[in-house]
Structure 1
Amino acid sequence: MDNQRNLILAIVLSALVLFGWQAMSDRFFPVAKPPVTKIEGGQEKVVPQPGADPAADGPRAVRARATVLAETPRIVIDTPKLAGTINLKGARIDDLVFKAYGETVAKDSPPIRLLSPAGSPAAYYAGFGWTGDGVDAPGPNTVWTANGTRLTPQTPVTLSWANTRGQRFETVIAVDSDYMFTITQKLANTGAGAVAARPYGLISKDGVSKDPSSWTLHTGPIGVFNDKANYDLSFEKLDEAGRAGIRFASTGGWIGFGDKYWLTALIPDPKAPVDAGFLSTAPKVYQAVDSGRPLIIAPGKAGSVTQRFFAGAKEVNLLDRYEADLKVAQFGRAIDWGWFEVIEKPIFWVLDQVFKLVGNFGVAIIILTFIVRGLMFPIAQKQFRSMAGMRRVQPKMKELQERHKDDKPRLQQELLKLYQEEKVNPLAGCLPILVQIPVFYALYKVLMVTIEMRHQPFVLWIRDLSAPDPLHILNLFGLLDFTPPSFLGIGVLAILLGISMWLQFKLNPQPMDDAQKQIFALMPWIMMFIMAPFAAGLLIYWITSNFLTIAQQAWLYRQYPIPETPASAAVVEAKAAKKK
């Protein structure tokens, strides 16, 4: 009867863990993005990624993007990493794709598009101009004149326009070989009186981010104001604020919109005071705006202001370099590292350095596992010695359990006395696990937030370490023509994880309580279900760590063999009583 009760309790607790995890994981620990490939009929096929394009087609589409692009005069943007055009109508950077990043892992995949012009699907663009009283400033319909036809890192372009009152406006646009534009706005006054004008920059985004914001990953409006990153902003808060907006007064900093991998940001002079904020100009249309102090331009004089505009991928080393070289405050915080940044960035650094040596991030993760296990070797040795001691005293523990099975308080006293006499600690095995939790979570975040891990292959069918294993057992590894739902998508890596955990538990000292034994027996297979939707790279780390642990345990147990102990009279009597 007790065994049946314990079994039922173990099953209930296991079900609570399994389904409770499914309920909370999307909010607190979102799993990896959908697999980039699937196996059907024994063949690997690339899966379309509708969320890969930040400016993908949406319900606010007016005209096809190609039609809109052909309606206005444009200047070509051509850099090692970017391609697109500048719209001379409104002086907008509104057409931009990445040369190095594709929507899928297919060789002929179209590139990721970041920016799209107004009037096209999911418009997303940056514009720069002037506002002021008593001055005819250029507007969104102003057509500027350019001094060239091509913007490259070697050839900046100058856009110019003059009103009928003696003011001439110029916008000089330069770009580096990565993703940073430098915008210098100039105003020359040849009129009869002084003018006051305030320069501004804006980013307009039609629609929310395709990457959902969660407890562990912020997407959407983001900025750094007075040297502090603000992750509290959201599209929902902008909807509530409407045109009144949310304003910030800051010295330097930056403001913009971030997806998981992509970022647009206005970056004013780091030493200048700036008024910045977000607003919603229409349902699901959002703007980030910054403006500097008004310039008072006397007749015959000119003034200028310079700011930068970032439109690119959130590459870790690049953001850190811009933060250091260009004094962009907290620019590395465009990546939501979270609380464990102090561990996550070193882990990323190790992975990146090893990747540069071996050329495969999967191999780099395995080497990282060896490094972590090596650093933890002294702690693990203490753990395994204690576990070997626990295995050695298990016959005595069983004897005490049989002798005092009806007196639980006395059993606990005798067990504590036994631990002291034998100098073993049943809790010693917890320390290495506790130490590894931050490392494991840090790797989870690295796989989730760093674009360097996106679409990185390992071997065979694993084409993206930041996505789940696409080879599922429930469709017979792709021989059956259906794709299991994510919570049932048990892949080869998840099975290996379950097997490695089962082997590891078999080597551990067995719990005294029957219910605990049954829970531990089920736990490897519960974890197999829980971890199946997570990134393949995370499972590779855990599997490698488990097998290293098994090898270390097996070696240590040979060093500390369990002595042969004859069964005590109490145990013999108990077994005889059960047979009767």
Structure 2
Amino acid sequence: MDNHRNLIVAIALSFLLLVGWNSAMDYFYPQPDAPAAGKVDTPTEQAATADDASQAEATQHTRTGGLVDPELRALEKADLKTALASADRLPIDGPRVAGSINLKGGVLDDVVLKDHMEGTGKDSQPVRLFSPNGTPAQQFAQFGWVGSNLKVPGPDTLWQADGKALTVTTPVTLSWDNGEGLVFRIRYAIDDNYMFTATQSVANTGANPVVLQPFGLVNRTSRTASQDLWIAHSGPIGVFGDAADYDVDYDDVDEAGRVTPEGRTSWAGFTDIYWLAALVPQDATAPETTFRALGDETYRADMIYQPETIAPGQAMTRTSRLYAGAKESVVLDSYEDAGLQKFGLAIDWGWFRWFEKPFLWLLRNIYELVGNFGIAIMILTLIVRGAMFPVAQKGFASMASMKAIQPKMKAIQEKHKDDKQLQQQKIMELYKTEKVNPVAGCLPMLLQIPVFFALYKVLVLGIEMRHREFLWIKDLAAPDPANLANALSLVGIQVPQFLMIVFGLGVLAVMLGFTMWLTFKLNPSAMDPMQQQIFNIMPWILMFVMAPFAAGLLLYWVTSNVLTLAQQKYLYSKHPQMRAMIEEEKAKKAAEAAAKAG
């Protein structure tokens, strides 16, 4: 009777888990990308971007960021067309970025990334990182000066350029004469990746000394921010002192109005899960860095140098850098190797980065050999399981030894049932005599936990996984699209949101549940009927729980389960007495259960 009651409770709890899982997933885990076009293409994407009634007034955010509201996307398109049609623009044509500099204000406000597309369709456009001030998706960088009782360049200043385009081989210098004895210049250069260099100089041709403070800023809206997840920071970021700071988000800046991190600034700016805009000060300087809330979901990161006096006939120069691009681990690490402190930590690897980065390195190298990230994940799984096989073999052998000494343990427990301390002492002596480690059987599972979590973070954070295809999957970093809801949408049938937990179940999730069920069936632990019922249910619960995760992660887990099945078959063949004991105990348990039922 108790077993039946416990089973009903377990099923009820499982049902509550399934019903509440969507809400938890919205907060803790990544969702599919929002499409670049004005409509959401599939029910899976609709589920990821749907506005709940309780959230109608809040800005919606997707895993990778960008405008979600269709009206704002349409307005952004119209505003961009107007802003970029201005004749006061200087083209940017780098190897990996394109766009333009607005000569009115000397602002870097038009940057797109040539190697990264917004979606997976043939008509998809390059990812737009910077948009002009006043557009719904505004994000831009500006360099200038602060001076008291001086005429300094501002947002309406029209700069003169000495070139026709900014390229790797042709830096461009913008100049402006304030008519009062000061000539301001900004020399822009760009490297082979995403790093701009801004050299600010002022020549004093007047009769009096002047005091000026150079500054750099990045301005952006949080409407385009990616979700701020517990494993993936989105918002203000930087290295101050000797540590990377992921603790400040947009809400913190709103609440404080102004946040000034402590410690010398190595770099600072704003991050999304895949994109970064960061200012880098000149070496051996100590500018003040501040994050400010400007209202209307707009924020600014300021980097202001100390005041300097420029005597007549003298000049002052400050060189800053701006990273505006993708958070590619190899690129970030290359800048760090060149002296930019902890720039690789722009990716929020967390505590396990020494474990995660080798996984990413191995994945990249396998991909270069096989040409497909799905196959690379499967090969990586094989390598990891192969490396762990000796541990698993020892653990399995330990479990076999534990089973073999069960009669002796029961005899000790019965003999010393009134003296628990002596009972434990005798059992420990038995372990020592029989050379059995009671915890060795748990070691493979314990080792699998950090491996699984590390790979999970790699698949979520690594931009290398974005938009990678495998069979029917167009993006291994997003959930599996092969589900009944998407199939029904092709014939005009839209699945209600509350049924998505069932109809949104993908092929990989079903394979995960089935292969996990098979591994539990081969589990070397003899369980009572109640435990057996729970273990029979658990794979199917996890099938629903894991369905919204990245398809690449499910592919890893399915492959791991298949390898586990093969491993268990092999180990049972090496320890036939283990299988015989298990079957004997299962038969005994079944007979006892039948006798009670009768």
Do both proteins adopt the same fold according to a TM-score greater than 0.5, normalized to the shorter chain? yes
Question: Corresponding residue for 1:346?
Answer: 358
- Cα separation, 2, equivalents of 1:6 and 1:77: 67
Distance apart, 1:393 and its partner CA: 7.7
- Other structure's SS at 2:244 match: strand
- Cα separation, 1, equivalents of 2:590 and 2:45: 62
Distance apart, 1:450 and its partner CA: 1.3
The alignment status of 1:239 with 2:254, answered yes or no, reads: yes
Letter in structure 2 aligned against 1:333: L
TM-score by structure 1 length?
0.87
Q: How does 1:20-31 map to 2 (within 5 A)?
A: 24-27=24-27, 29-31=28-30
Question: Corresponding residue for 1:229?
Answer: 244
The alignment status of 1:314 with 2:327, answered yes or no, reads: yes
Letter in structure 1 aligned against 2:5: R
The correspondence for 1:171, drawn from 186, 192, 196, is: 186
Q: How does 1:483-498 map to 2 (within 5 A)?
A: 485=497, 487-488=501-502, 489-498=504-513
- Cα separation, 1, equivalents of 2:592 and 2:30: 49
Letter in structure 2 aligned against 1:465: L
Question: Corresponding residue for 2:469?
Answer: 457
Contact kept in structure 1, 2:226 and 2:272, CA below 8 Å: yes
Question: Corresponding residue for 1:40?
Answer: none
The correspondence for 2:478, drawn from 460, 463, 467, is: 467
- Other structure's SS at 1:104 match: coil
Letter in structure 2 aligned against 1:335: I
Bigger drift between 80-89 and 205-214 goes to 205-214
- Cα separation, 1, equivalents of 2:109 and 2:595: 84
Question: Corresponding residue for 1:448?
Answer: 460
Question: Corresponding residue for 1:130?
Answer: 145
Query: In structure 2, do the counterparts of structure 1 residues 576 and 118 end up closer, same or farther at CA, with 3 Å as the change threshold?
Result: closer
- Cα separation, 2, equivalents of 1:169 and 1:564: 86
- Other structure's SS at 1:150 match: coil
Question: Corresponding residue for 1:8?
Answer: 8
Question: Corresponding residue for 2:159?
Answer: 144
Structure 2 runs not aligned, ≥5 long? 50-60
Cα deviation, 1:274-327, whole Å, max 9, x if unaligned, reads: 1110112232111111011222111111111100011100010100111121x2
Structure 1 runs not aligned, ≥5 long? 38-42
Contact kept in structure 1, 2:43 and 2:485, CA below 8 Å: no
Query: In structure 2, do the counterparts of structure 1 residues 305 and 512 end up closer, same or farther at CA, with 3 Å as the change threshold?
Result: same
TM-score by structure 2 length?
0.85
Question: Corresponding residue for 2:574?
Answer: 559
Query: In structure 2, do the counterparts of structure 1 residues 386 and 503 end up closer, same or farther at CA, with 3 Å as the change threshold?
Result: farther
Letter in structure 1 aligned against 2:322: F
Letter in structure 1 aligned against 2:450: P
Distance apart, 1:44 and its partner CA: 9.7
- Cα separation, 2, equivalents of 1:350 and 1:571: 46
- Cα separation, 2, equivalents of 1:455 and 1:124: 24
The correspondence for 2:563, drawn from 531, 545, 548, is: 548
Letter in structure 2 aligned against 1:508: N
Structure with larger RCO (C-alpha < 8 A, sep 6+): 1
Letter in structure 1 aligned against 2:150: V
- Other structure's SS at 1:376 match: helix
Letter in structure 2 aligned against 1:524: P
Distance apart, 1:10 and its partner CA: 2.9
Contact kept in structure 2, 1:161 and 1:168, CA below 8 Å: yes
Letter in structure 2 aligned against 1:371: I
Give RMSD over aligned pairs.
3.6
Question: Corresponding residue for 1:505?
Answer: 520
Bigger drift between 336-345 and 56-65 goes to 56-65
Question: Corresponding residue for 1:299?
Answer: 312
- Cα separation, 2, equivalents of 1:423 and 1:9: 40
Distance apart, 1:330 and its partner CA: 1.4
- Cα separation, 2, equivalents of 1:576 and 1:90: 85
Cα deviation, 1:104-157, whole Å, max 9, x if unaligned, reads: 111221111111112322221111111112421111110000001100000000
Query: In structure 2, do the counterparts of structure 1 residues 578 and 309 end up closer, same or farther at CA, with 3 Å as the change threshold?
Result: closer
The correspondence for 1:360, drawn from 367, 372, 383, is: 372
Letter in structure 1 aligned against 2:554: L
Letter in structure 2 aligned against 1:272: T
- Cα separation, 2, equivalents of 1:554 and 1:408: 41
Letter in structure 2 aligned against 1:468: P
Contact kept in structure 2, 1:55 and 1:122, CA below 8 Å: yes
Question: Corresponding residue for 1:65?
Answer: 80
Question: Corresponding residue for 2:449?
Answer: 437
- Other structure's SS at 1:9 match: helix
The correspondence for 2:395, drawn from 376, 383, 396, is: 383
Contact kept in structure 1, 2:65 and 2:227, CA below 8 Å: no
- Other structure's SS at 2:555 match: helix
Distance apart, 1:416 and its partner CA: 6.6
Distance apart, 1:360 and its partner CA: 1.0
The alignment status of 1:330 with 2:342, answered yes or no, reads: yes
Contact kept in structure 2, 1:344 and 1:442, CA below 8 Å: yes
Query: In structure 2, do the counterparts of structure 1 residues 456 and 296 end up closer, same or farther at CA, with 3 Å as the change threshold?
Result: same
- Cα separation, 1, equivalents of 2:351 and 2:590: 55
- Cα separation, 1, equivalents of 2:110 and 2:270: 16
Bigger drift between 486-495 and 369-378 goes to 486-495
- Cα separation, 2, equivalents of 1:572 and 1:293: 80
Contact kept in structure 1, 2:188 and 2:198, CA below 8 Å: yes
Letter in structure 2 aligned against 1:224: V
Cα deviation, 1:302-358, whole Å, max 9, x if unaligned, reads: 111100011100010100111121x22211111111121111111111111111111
